[in-house]
Amino acid sequence: MIRVENLTKYYGDVCAIKDVNFTVHDGEILGFLGPNGAGKTTTLRIITTYLTPTAGTVYIDDLNIAEHSNELRSRIGYLPELNPMYAEMPVIDLLVFVASARGITGRRFKEALGRVMESCGIREVLHRLVGELSKGYRQRVGLAMAMIHDPEILIMDEPSAGLDPNQIVEIRALIKELGKEKTVIMSSHILQEVQAVADRMVILNKGQVVADGTTTDLMAGFEGKAQLTLEVKKATKKSIQGLATKFTDIQIQVDNIKNGAGILELEYPTGQDLREQIFGYAVESGWVVLEMSRRQARLEDIFRSLTVEEGGAHA
């Protein structure tokens, strides 16, 4: 298990993260979410022992990363967002180089190569130059580099960045497969990417944890708004105003009614279902309801509510 406790990091006078706390259980895929600049990469670099925290620490199976960094590095595989590679090297030579840096040679290397070729799907590009590979295959080779020593923990920073839709689907499937055998932390600023593969999410904003839980947990704790769209005819301005007067929890967000016909968009607390009452009011008011559709709060709404500043998006 990984325990991140009161993690704080300053770069000069700038606080990148402050009092960050979360845990990652063995065999779990944790989605580490947040807008650009939220502190995700800093946190991951500290967990991998690449950076030293200003305060706080990380424990991996009760071993402090500050006191056991060499031992713990052998248990962690790291795929950074900008994965360093030698473009002029064939993939096989690059893997030989990375493995030898970890003391993996001879028969051990052959066994490790066979394992990562299959798990990362790179057999067909093994003898091609890295610089000739597509972005998707480069990510696969990057994963092979991170996994050549068979780590029990795999940390990936924006693994789908720059990939096309087909490559994203492939990387998602690969991560889910790897999660069956390893503990995985995957960072992203794209909610859908994390939601597709993660067992649990930690959301970071301005260097602090603002949410931690499964999709169900986060939805259950969100006091958001339900939205209801009505397409109507024969609606008068007076009767539309009367709707908001009769139902004080309802707010009219959009009123595109012209000559009695058009679209109304209503909003009310997500814990209520006012469709029956609204429909009854419409009938009483002589409206013809052509369509009624409801949209509950979604995970995207939760993410935006936690990470978008009032008056504009987070920089």
Number of H helices, E strands in the chain: 11, 14
- pLDDT at residue 127 in the model: 95
Residue for token pair 């998707």: 136
- pLDDT at residue 280 in the model: 94
- Residue 41 CA to residue 44 CA, distance in Å, equals 5
- pLDDT at residue 222 in the model: 66
Please report, in tens digits, the pLDDT of each residue of the chain (315 residues total). 999 999 999 999 999 999 999 999 999 999 999 998 999 999 999 999 999 999 999 999 999 999 999 999 999 999 998 888 999 999 999 999 999 999 999 999 999 999 999 989 899 999 999 999 998 899 999 999 999 999 999 999 998 888 888 888 888 888 998 889 899 999 988 888 888 899 999 999 999 999 999 887 887 666 667 789 999 999 999 999 999 899 988 989 888 999 999 999 998 887 778 899 999 999 999 999 999 998 766 778 788 888 876 434 433
Enumerate residues 6+ apart whose C-beta is below 8 A from 301.
222, 224, 225
- Numbered ranges of CATH 3.40.50.300 in the chain: 2-218
CA dihedral for 95, 100, 104, 106, sign (positive or negative): positive
- Residue 62 CA to residue 59 CA, distance in Å, equals 5
225-233 and 76-79 as β-strands: parallel, antiparallel, unpaired?
Answer: unpaired
Q: Which one-letter amino acid corresponds to residue 76?
A: I
- Residue 151 CA to residue 183 CA, distance in Å, equals 9
CA dihedral for 204, 26, 138, 99, sign (positive or negative): positive
- pLDDT at residue 190 in the model: 82
The structure tokens listed for 18 are 């402050």
DSSP designation for 89: S
pTM above 0.95, yes or no: no
* Distances from the Cα of 145 to the Cα of 77, 156, 187, 235, 262, angstroms: 8, 12, 18, 65, 58
- Cα 128 from chain centroid? 32
- Numbered ranges of CATH 3.30.70.3190 in the chain: 225-296
Q: Which one-letter amino acid corresponds to residue 150?
A: D
Paired strand residues for 261: 258
Enumerate residues 6+ apart whose C-beta is below 8 A from 217.
none
- Residue 257 CA to residue 235 CA, distance in Å, equals 8
- pLDDT at residue 39 in the model: 95
Of 2.60.40.10, 3.30.420.40, 3.40.50.300, 3.40.1390.10, which CATH number belongs to 2-218? 3.40.50.300
- Residue 141 CA to residue 148 CA, distance in Å, equals 10
- Residue 254 CA to residue 252 CA, distance in Å, equals 6
DSSP designation for 94: H
- Ramachandran quadrant class, 280 (left: phi over 0; alpha: psi -120 to 50; beta: rest): alpha
- Residue 273 CA to residue 141 CA, distance in Å, equals 50
Residue 196, φ and ψ in degrees, nearest 5: -70, -25
Domain 225-296 has CATH 3.30.70.3190: yes
